[in-house]
Structure 1
Amino acid sequence: MKRYTIILCIFLLSSCSKWLDKEPVSMITDVNFWKNQTEADAGVAGAYALVRKALNDADGLTHFAYGDLPSDELLGSNIQDADLKAAATVDWALPVTAAATWRYMMKLRRYDNFYRIIDQANRCLKFIPTVPLSEYTSSSPETTRDAFLGEAYFLRAFAYFYMARIWGDVPLVLETQDNLIDAINIPRTPQKDILAQCQADIDMALKLLPWQTSNPQDRAIRVSRGAAFALMAHMYAWAGEYAKVIPAADSVIEKGGYSLVDRHNWLSIWEGKSSEGVFEIAQSRETEGIGDGIAFRTLKKPYLSTVSGNAVFTLNPTTLNTLYADTNDLRVKNGFAFMSTTDPICIKYSDITYALPEQTGPIAHYNIVVFRLADIMLLKAEALAATNAYGDARAILDQVRGAAGIDSWTGADTDLFEAIIDERGRELFMEGHRFFDLIRLARVKGILRFDNINGADFQRGKYYWPVDPVLMNLNSRLQQTSFWSDKL
């Protein structure tokens, strides 16, 4: 009954942080669970909670530490915390003792949390089909069951894709495990095979998921077919299979029912469940919103009353001047502050309330927006430019620019791919995309925008993270990421 209690806690309260830190309980206790629709739904909710845990580890910074810190958005050398500075400057072999499990670098080099997602998804895929349809209370039991299974396939694919971008080759586990160590005590599987499994899972998700969630309140925070197509588009872009990106992105754009948010109301996107959101991580004000997360590193007074000096993270002025040269850009006017000073800040995550008197006890309110419509539109434009369909690529690029109140792009076709990457930089600043976008730019065009990865090191795969030595000590079959094998 222990597993029943734990999963139901997640389902009802939307947060059960103590459980997220524990190893999965024995499969024997699954016998007492998975009896009806409520329990099947709770099992899926448990997987979403584990996604939230994985992306919010390292004091709410994991998603941004992988996708933003090593990019040109920040001045990494200005970061005071040694681990976050190392993350930003690609000094990923920074020594950390095995006992220092609280260290950011330890957390960022470990993939345990992603395997917790995978294990929960595997349990859903194993046990939800055993729940009798007669125990469902919805008006369409089979449709409801299929949606649950589609979510599980999506979340497993998402976890593997996320890890593939970070570590490259990772262990492939497709069955439930009694013990988390069993899940990681196998060799790394080549990235191409990981991505092939992602594709197989996405294909299954597409067969099972609806275009719209059954409850409108679940928009974007529970996945739909549009989210699965968005994941597919990103996966193909990462693999360099740009011809396949286009139809996947088209499905999101044309069939998902999404629309761009008015850029005069730009910040509403991060409040969550906007018309633009495709897949978001619902944040809990009681956990992720208190004291941790990207808001507390990127804001200062008057947006965050508890920071009277400069923001913790310093934005890169060169990048800001390059990306936002047009001061008419509504994304600048509504997404940044103090742009004419030496300490400009990004205010995407500036919905702050205070739990205590005199504006103390700040609470940040925002969702992590993983995929949104403008992201997928520009990903399609990137794919079109990569396949020499320059006119169609320009049309999408100019549509996004027009929504932001700036003129059409007038450069040469030879520069269009890079211009689209830059447009993604303007649009998706501090949303966990930039580092991966720059990797694709380097792969496709040979243009390196990294301060801490030179051409030779890029070719050797320096942009893939090492695994922490703690994991290697637990698993004798685990080999270190190639570039880092003689450094850690």
Structure 2
Amino acid sequence: MKNIITKIGVLIAVATAVIVSSCKKLLYEEPKDAPYEQTFWQSSRDVRSAVAGNYAMMRSAITSKNNRYFMYGDAIAKNYFTIQYSGDGLEGIQGGDFTFQYNLNTLANYNLYYKSIAMSNLILKKVNAMSDAQLSAEDDPAQFRNSANGQAYFLRALSYFMMVRVWGDVPLVTEAYEDPINAPQLPRSPKSEVMKLIESDCHKAINLLSWNYANTGDAKITANKGSVYALLAHLYLWRATMSDVSVDAPNLTDVNNADTTINTLISKGGYALTDTANYKNTFIGRSSEGIFEINISENTLEGSNSSIGSYFLNENYIKGYGNNPRFYTTPSYLNNHFETTTDIRYKKGFDLANPDKPMSVKYSNVTYRNPGQKLDPYLSNNIIIFRLGDMKLLQAEIALYKKDAATAIGIINDFRKRNDPNPVLIPAGSSVDQVMDEYAYERGKEMYLEGHLFYDLLRTRRFGLIVDWLTESRFRREGFYWPVDPALFRNNPLLKQTPYWLGKV
């Protein structure tokens, strides 16, 4: 753990270099001495810089290492899309083997999440110590302080939530260590404690944030109450179903908490589903449906030339990309999920010019920084972490955990009617098990390539429909969690390997 904590000193002065699109400066700025630190944290401008830096760190954690957010949440489910061989071994994760050296050193390493956590801890410590006089440039210093702290709690909770779904037990760091030499080495904490902290941080953030944004430029891409409620709902459902995988029955207390949380979010958040005529606008970003997104927009020159969408696109979409993208949608996915070809998610989400290797075009908003010659292409598609469609479908999952098949059928059929003029509906009277299968397929259509699908299959115990490498035995042994990069053990003897991977790494 010390190799994580020794980087915390970097974050003391991070805001001096903040331009959100310039993540590398934020992440690798050299530590400054104590006198320099005393000149920072003196104004609301410093706080804004630190908060912006924290969002940049979260973006870096999510998009690094082959867009790890999508590798963990979608790619390892295998039968949603195929990663073609290119020599790095990345395709190995789709067979359930997470031990290739490249993958161990990248996807099995959680350091980047701890950079955001460290910044959150630092903001919480420093901002609370600042006086109203230091924040006097703001109309309401107390509200400004609450917003900065609320966003710090949210980003810390989001980082831990992303990690607890990937590794289970992870070290808990909740203090800002300004003396990294003497910072403690920490073992992995039980996932129950990690989830308890996430829940606590979410409740603190909810009490500090508002539903609205003081600056419309911050909407959707920074946290408000809705962002936190969405995270909390996902936490409750994960904890309800994944705390003890030796049993299948969910914890109904957490299920009910998720239900209440989503109802509050929908009733108070002011979100609205995107009109299907504008289907792709949802994935450009900042639509009426968006709840929380990572900014990948060329409107602010923060597009990406290596985002998940670019791995699927060919020369017809991006000049110079050739005709054999590394990723392609698995044809069996389309055949198994879409009963008709009139579903808008099928029509607008995929390019079947090559039926053997269909392209996902969900993220295909290409902008050339040299438009005259079509050079320097960037995708301008935000990463949608939480949106209203996700929340509404989760209500069907909640109903099924409560054995209310009729309510779940109604929700799923509403999605099918909304997206398809010729929908194939679930018949009334279908059993809970039958509807749960249909729910898994509906999530696969609605949430394709949004970083959720593998976790959906784990929660609902429907991984057998899609993930052929995850046997019942491996699931019960928690073999869906990732190993920890052995490099992290070198400076921290308190760390232990993920149990399933002992003797395999």
2-structure distance, mates of 1:287, 1:184: 39
Consecutive unaligned residues of structure 2, counting only runs of 5 or more, are 1-8, 241-253
Identity of aligned residues (%): 32
1-structure distance, mates of 2:191, 2:48: 31
1:292 aligns to what?
A: 306
The secondary structure found in structure 2 opposite 1:370 is: strand
Q: Does 1:311 align with 2:325?
A: yes
Q: Does 1:335 align with 2:349?
A: yes
Tell me, yes or no, if the aligned pair for 1:171 and 1:184 is still in contact at 8 Å.
Answer: no
2-structure distance, mates of 1:351, 1:210: 31
Tell me, yes or no, if the aligned pair for 2:11 and 2:119 is still in contact at 8 Å.
Answer: no
Q: CA deviation at 1:363?
A: 1.2
Q: Given residue 204 of structure 1, which amino acid in structure 2 is its aligned partner?
A: K
Q: Does 1:84 align with 2:90?
A: yes
Q: Given residue 253 of structure 1, which amino acid in structure 2 is its aligned partner?
A: I
- 78-87 vs 126-135, which deviates more? 78-87
Q: CA deviation at 1:141?
A: 2.1
Distance 1:332 1:23, change over 3 A: farther
TM-score, structure 1 normalization: 0.91
The secondary structure found in structure 1 opposite 2:378 is: strand
1-structure distance, mates of 2:444, 2:181: 38
2-structure distance, mates of 1:195, 1:13: 29
Distance 1:462 1:2, change over 3 A: closer
Q: CA deviation at 1:87?
A: 2.5
Consecutive unaligned residues of structure 1, counting only runs of 5 or more, are 97-102
Q: CA deviation at 1:85?
A: 0.7
Q: Does 1:324 align with 2:338?
A: yes
Q: Given residue 128 of structure 1, which amino acid in structure 2 is its aligned partner?
A: V
The secondary structure found in structure 1 opposite 2:386 is: strand
1-structure distance, mates of 2:385, 2:103: 22
Q: Does 1:468 align with 2:467?
A: no
Given the alignment, which residue of 17, 34, 39 partners 1:9? 17
Distance 1:77 1:113, change over 3 A: closer
1:207 aligns to what?
A: 207
Q: CA deviation at 1:439?
A: 1.1
Tell me, yes or no, if the aligned pair for 2:20 and 2:53 is still in contact at 8 Å.
Answer: no
1:395 aligns to what?
A: 410
Distance 1:23 1:485, change over 3 A: farther
Tell me, yes or no, if the aligned pair for 1:116 and 1:180 is still in contact at 8 Å.
Answer: no
2-structure distance, mates of 1:428, 1:57: 21
Deviations 1:292-325 (A, max 9, x none): 1212211113122223323211211111111122
Q: Does 1:385 align with 2:391?
A: no
Q: Given residue 44 of structure 1, which amino acid in structure 2 is its aligned partner?
A: V
Tell me, yes or no, if the aligned pair for 1:233 and 1:248 is still in contact at 8 Å.
Answer: yes
Tell me, yes or no, if the aligned pair for 1:26 and 1:179 is still in contact at 8 Å.
Answer: no
Q: Does 1:354 align with 2:397?
A: no
Q: Given residue 264 of structure 1, which amino acid in structure 2 is its aligned partner?
A: A
1:278 aligns to what?
A: 291
Q: Does 1:40 align with 2:59?
A: no
Tell me, yes or no, if the aligned pair for 1:185 and 1:475 is still in contact at 8 Å.
Answer: yes
1-structure distance, mates of 2:136, 2:444: 45
Given the alignment, which residue of 399, 413, 416 partners 2:431? 413
Matching of residues 140-219 of structure 1 within 5 Å: 140-178=140-178, 185-219=185-219
1:54 aligns to what?
A: 61
Tell me, yes or no, if the aligned pair for 1:33 and 1:39 is still in contact at 8 Å.
Answer: yes
Tell me, yes or no, if the aligned pair for 2:351 and 2:361 is still in contact at 8 Å.
Answer: yes
1-structure distance, mates of 2:225, 2:151: 9
Q: Does 1:425 align with 2:444?
A: yes
TM-score, structure 2 normalization: 0.88
- 344-353 vs 356-365, which deviates more? 356-365
The secondary structure found in structure 2 opposite 1:125 is: helix
2-structure distance, mates of 1:78, 1:263: 32
2-structure distance, mates of 1:78, 1:361: 25
Tell me, yes or no, if the aligned pair for 2:59 and 2:294 is still in contact at 8 Å.
Answer: yes
Q: CA deviation at 1:15?
A: 2.2
2-structure distance, mates of 1:77, 1:147: 41
Tell me, yes or no, if the aligned pair for 1:90 and 1:452 is still in contact at 8 Å.
Answer: yes
Tell me, yes or no, if the aligned pair for 2:10 and 2:28 is still in contact at 8 Å.
Answer: no
Given the alignment, which residue of 466, 474, 480 partners 1:449? 466
Q: Given residue 176 of structure 2, which amino acid in structure 1 is its aligned partner?
A: T
The secondary structure found in structure 2 opposite 1:133 is: coil
Distance 1:396 1:8, change over 3 A: farther
Q: Does 1:222 align with 2:218?
A: no
Q: CA deviation at 1:373?
A: 0.4
CA RMSD of aligned residues (A): 2.4
Distance 1:248 1:3, change over 3 A: closer
Tell me, yes or no, if the aligned pair for 1:382 and 1:421 is still in contact at 8 Å.
Answer: no
- 64-73 vs 187-196, which deviates more? 64-73
Q: CA deviation at 1:31?
A: 2.5
The secondary structure found in structure 2 opposite 1:314 is: strand
Given the alignment, which residue of 257, 279, 282 partners 1:269? 282
Given the alignment, which residue of 302, 316, 321 partners 1:302? 316
2-structure distance, mates of 1:209, 1:146: 7
Q: CA deviation at 1:452?
A: 1.7
1-structure distance, mates of 2:364, 2:126: 41
